[in-house]
Structure 1
């Protein structure tokens, strides 16, 4: 006999963890095994277990778990989730019967969108009077279910949205771009699918640069969305595109760091700079845009651990060129803030910080710089590194710095010479 809910023996009653329903017993097979809540849109996986659509789609597509939560059997990512209409009707009938007890009726879920429906919406983006309404409908559908999101990605929605962003930036349609960027983020396009769309798309970079520089005081939300999308784009961009990034691009990213739009946006901006450092003369452009000073100022505000690690990683890249080292040692707090972070944040931060000091000592070790390292405690910190539980590569860099300049520091009252003599 079929094991569907229509023929299944009455299951044990189960009290769900919902405060508003504490006095109501809910049939166990109405409960999603993942969320432990009443199912609103029950679907059955190929393993025969029924889940609420939102929960199982999150399990498969967001958490990337390719096994059935109950049976532990594999579930291919492209396998169908079959709507369990019989169970949904039973749940709806049960909710209606218990309405007097405060149970809300569960509405019939809207069917997932199909590819022809997506293509029609994308075609509407080409019609100016339909663009904004179509964008909002696409945004609503993407947020409604993982099934809709996947269908949008597979139907080429990302490419249509990118072309729309480029077009709208030329027409100063900032409201359209804000919704389009939000949808691009929600789509979560896999890197392998995004790369062909952005690999050498300089028009897109120009458009996003315009958005970042657009009325920075009153558009913090759209600037935050822009920098987050830009992070994914720069990671997928070709080396030739990165090499052609302009000074105004780096000025716009630096402005996003300076304005502290949001913690997430600041980290994304630092990621953009870090990836861009590998292209052509970008380090010089980043320094010219004032990013090095802004990063030091950001670090002086005591950000979280990950932000500090990103700050130090970018500073290390910039200090590989003469202009970056000059900016660092010329900043009143440059060497001091690097020294303070050693042994206080993480092993990753220790590595970047010691690398920066090593670079400065190798190429920019003037008498004034070496004296400043003494005064701000950098020399003492390097000695402590050799005694701490640091990696061998970090210790070797610290040892090299101490060995190279011990002749200058040994007579200073700021440090015990015995500390230097231990590790030459």
Structure 2
């Protein structure tokens, strides 16, 4: 294609690539459908035409006029120039078709066929995903997850819910309409008994929902809920699921009562094992952030000290990973040395090289607060 001069009017003004599905918008400019839909759905563009800067209507995706003549010219030109012919695009789906499909899917015998069709629609374009949400697909999929269906239906429904990238409004509506029941289903059924696939997508969905949940509700979560989140980390279902679980832990452990629940769920042991195994920077930082939160309570510090590698692995990550890891690692050691510094603990800190690490912290580039904590630890136990 590089050797052929492509007529400029075949190129999309946004992507500068040959248009596969040319459509004309209200400003009179023709774009490739996928490119202009991405532009319209982007929150940064204020729904203005990329070329003329004229305002586009909020329902612009419904008002795009397919430019069939230009598409046929492009297809003929591709054929004449021995370029792979661009296929005729499928007509875009509308909300009425989606509503009809959802109604059909309510019958058990049609459910899997409906779910496969919804997956295909969601994967086609961002426009389709927006239409699925506005047509009520989120509520339909959530009802399938809440039922005791066979695993394939739950797997498929959770994948689509994840793929939809549900808006903040949609997530809040889901939370309010089911009064926490959907979260309970995800945590105590899917995370506990679901397939690895279902557990992974449920964890990603929970992360988004917890970020919007009321703090009063988050503080009422039980130890059993924390056990399921920790098990996702323990089982190493996927890297994305592990990161989502760590984000959930950070969100939930803002409150002291939740820290104790997390410790009771064996979070400390699992986090230390993760820290021993991981070499990924962001992963190490997130684990240390959660460990820092949990060491804010006496139960957390006790569990850290009970693990044979707890102090050693935290010390090891200091100055070796990032500024964030160094700050959090020093904070953890500070909490231990300030509130749990028995003679045996201090001897262990000496043996695993904590003192030399603290001296190194004073010499390297890190935050002033971190240096102050290192100095204070050295002063507190200078005699030892």
The normalised TM-score by structure 1 is 0.82
Q: CA RMSD in A?
A: 2.6
Alignment of 1:208-287 (within 5 A): 208-209=186-187, 210-214=189-193, 219-279=195-255, 281-287=257-263
What displacement does 1:288 show? 1.9
Which position in structure 1 is the counterpart of 2:372?
Answer: 396
**2:64 equivalent among 76, 83, 94:** 83
Conserved? CA contact 2:115–2:156, under 8 Å: yes
User: Structure 2 vs 1, CA of residues 388 and 73 (structure 1 numbering), >3 Å: closer, same or farther?
Assistant: farther
Question: How many angstroms apart in 2 are the aligned matches of 1:69 and 1:399?
Answer: 58
Question: How many angstroms apart in 2 are the aligned matches of 1:380 and 1:46?
Answer: 68
Alignment of 1:60-139 (within 5 A): 60-61=40-41, 64-66=44-46, 71=51, 73=53, 78=58, 80-81=60-61, 82-86=63-67, 88-96=68-76, 98-99=78-79, 101-139=81-119
Question: How many angstroms apart in 2 are the aligned matches of 1:74 and 1:174?
Answer: 49
In structure 1, stretches of 5+ residues that fail to align are 1-20, 409-424
Which position in structure 2 is the counterpart of 1:146?
Answer: 126
Conserved? CA contact 2:27–2:49, under 8 Å: no
**2:183 equivalent among 183, 205, 216:** 205
Conserved? CA contact 1:66–1:74, under 8 Å: no
Cα deviation digits, residues 256-285 of structure 1 (max 9, x gap)? 112222211110111111112135632222
Conserved? CA contact 1:42–1:83, under 8 Å: no
User: Structure 2 vs 1, CA of residues 356 and 83 (structure 1 numbering), >3 Å: closer, same or farther?
Assistant: same
Does structure 1 residue 184 correspond to structure 2 residue 161? yes
> Secondary structure, in 3 states, of the residue corresponding to 2:278?
coil
Question: How many angstroms apart in 1 are the aligned matches of 2:149 and 2:215?
Answer: 29
Which position in structure 2 is the counterpart of 1:36?
Answer: 16
Alignment of 1:50-65 (within 5 A): 50-61=30-41, 64-65=44-45
Question: How many angstroms apart in 1 are the aligned matches of 2:356 and 2:166?
Answer: 48
Conserved? CA contact 1:46–1:79, under 8 Å: no
Question: How many angstroms apart in 1 are the aligned matches of 2:57 and 2:240?
Answer: 30
Larger Rg computed on CA atoms: 1
Question: How many angstroms apart in 2 are the aligned matches of 1:206 and 1:92?
Answer: 53
**2:140 equivalent among 160, 163, 169:** 160
Question: How many angstroms apart in 1 are the aligned matches of 2:83 and 2:40?
Answer: 29
User: Structure 2 vs 1, CA of residues 175 and 280 (structure 1 numbering), >3 Å: closer, same or farther?
Assistant: farther
**1:340 equivalent among 309, 316, 326:** 316
Which position in structure 2 is the counterpart of 1:418?
Answer: none
Question: How many angstroms apart in 2 are the aligned matches of 1:316 and 1:293?
Answer: 14
Question: How many angstroms apart in 2 are the aligned matches of 1:399 and 1:392?
Answer: 11
Question: How many angstroms apart in 1 are the aligned matches of 2:49 and 2:355?
Answer: 55
Does structure 1 residue 359 correspond to structure 2 residue 335? yes
Conserved? CA contact 1:92–1:105, under 8 Å: no
Alignment: residue pair count: 381
What displacement does 1:153 show? 2.2
The normalised TM-score by structure 2 is 0.89
Does structure 1 residue 294 correspond to structure 2 residue 244? no
User: Structure 2 vs 1, CA of residues 286 and 24 (structure 1 numbering), >3 Å: closer, same or farther?
Assistant: same
> Secondary structure, in 3 states, of the residue corresponding to 1:236?
coil
> Secondary structure, in 3 states, of the residue corresponding to 2:31?
strand
Question: How many angstroms apart in 2 are the aligned matches of 1:353 and 1:74?
Answer: 53
Conserved? CA contact 1:92–1:106, under 8 Å: no
**1:384 equivalent among 332, 348, 360:** 360
| Bigger Cα displacement from structure 2, 189-198 vs 171-180 | 189-198
Question: How many angstroms apart in 2 are the aligned matches of 1:250 and 1:104?
Answer: 54
Question: How many angstroms apart in 1 are the aligned matches of 2:108 and 2:15?
Answer: 42
Conserved? CA contact 2:256–2:297, under 8 Å: no
Conserved? CA contact 1:92–1:107, under 8 Å: no
